[in-house]
Amino acid sequence: MILAGDVGGTKCNLALFEARPGALRRITQRRFESKTHPHFEEIVAEFLQQIRANTSEGGTGKITAAGFGVAGPVVEHKVRTTNLPWLVDGASLARILGIERVVLLNDLEATGHSVELLGSSELLTLNEGTPTPKANKVLIAAGTGLGEAILFWDGNRHIVAATEGGHTDFAPRTEKQIELLRHLMKRYTHVDFEIVLSGRGFRSIHEFLDPTVRHPSFDNPEVDPAPEITQLGLAGSCPICVQTLDLWTSVYGAEAGNLALKCLALGGVYVAGGIAVKILPKLKDGTFFRAFCDKSKFETLLNQIPIHVVLNQDAPLLGAAAQAAATIGG
């Protein structure tokens, strides 16, 4: 039995998988709100208590390995989470679970390990391009934060490497984006891409475009305004929300293009994360792709790179489970 986790700033998804030769079968899954728990170990304990109380969910099976994709850099088998005051410690989790095999991965690294396992129905293609099979690929995912990962082709297979590229300096491309940067510099000591390309970026852009236009979610500090802004933008019922969604998507496409160029990702670009699926109509209207390709001399090259949206929101869980299974030969 494999325990897998997708550990993010907003939610933690935990699941049990049965490892079979060449396959993983999910048995049960739970979602927990991250900010309502003081540390990750409490969530793990709560999950185990719940499934053991219900034997129909596989609660009697022995966990032999665990894999967790965590939003933050993995250093010496520990992750200090980027958007939570947690320290996720692999050794501590091994003691709690009573097992030796615990794999800690960056959350985008975990998603990267799922790419080869996804079926065609779990991907939506924004650009067919002309893929080069034996070439690098990249992954970018906006959600609570912004994650980026690289799938290096080593001559035989793809090796997944985590990065913290989401925290590199925000690089505006237009006069409007330069104005946005100046606006954000008044609020933050360092403006990185994550400040723009995350859920909180929608309200920041909206207030930059017109601070006089407000929506009900703006007045409740417990409510994330991103869903309201994106829904109104997709519906076309608020002009400022329409502009917000357009600007955000353009920046997203440009940064995906930056990542593709830095890694020469001729094998493809994968767009994952919770936001992409929610704004699919906007990603498909050409705004993302135009910004992706807008790189002067390299427009033709970028136009040939395939771009896929990962529709399976449990891809990090699948990748983490696969890496845990690999430690026992599953």
Whether the predicted pLDDT of 15 surpasses 90: yes
Domain match, 302 and 319 both: no
How many CA atoms within 13 Å lie on the side-chain side of 328? Answer: 23
Domain match, 185 and 280 both: yes
Domain match, 78 and 89 both: yes
Provide the token pair at 95: 């003691």
**Strands (DSSP E) found in the chain:** 2-7, 11-20, 23-33, 65-70, 74-75, 78-80, 87-89, 101-106, 123-127, 137-142, 146-153, 158-162, 268-272, 307-310
Put the strands of the sheet holding 78-80 in their side by side order: 74-75, 78-80, 87-89
Domain match, 128 and 154 both: yes
Domain match, 321 and 234 both: no
Provide the token pair at 23: 């396959």
* DSSP single-letter state for residue 192: B
Question: 233: alpha, beta or left, given left = phi > 0 and alpha = psi -120 to 50?
Answer: alpha
> What's the structural domain count of the chain?
2
Please give the average per-residue pLDDT across 127-136, as a whole number.
94
Tens-place pLDDT, residues 35-62: 899 999 999 999 999 988 876 666 557 8
Largest CA distance in the chain: 61
Domain match, 182 and 288 both: yes
Domain match, 29 and 104 both: yes
Domain match, 243 and 217 both: yes
Domain match, 8 and 151 both: no
- Of 257, 253, 258, 266, nearest in space to 137 by CA: 266
Domain that holds residue 170: 119-311
- Of 249, 260, 237, nearest in space to 286 by CA: 249
Tens-place pLDDT, residues 148-202: 999 999 999 999 999 999 999 999 999 999 999 999 999 999 999 999 999 999 9
Domain match, 206 and 62 both: no
Cα dist from 283 to 26, 44, 247, 270, 278, whole Å: 30, 35, 12, 13, 10
Cα dist from 66 to 10, 39, 62, 163, 217, whole Å: 21, 18, 11, 22, 38
Looking at residue 200, its pLDDT comes to 95
Domain match, 105 and 168 both: no
CATH code assigned at 8: 3.30.420.40
Domain match, 95 and 236 both: no
CATH code assigned at 174: 3.40.367.20
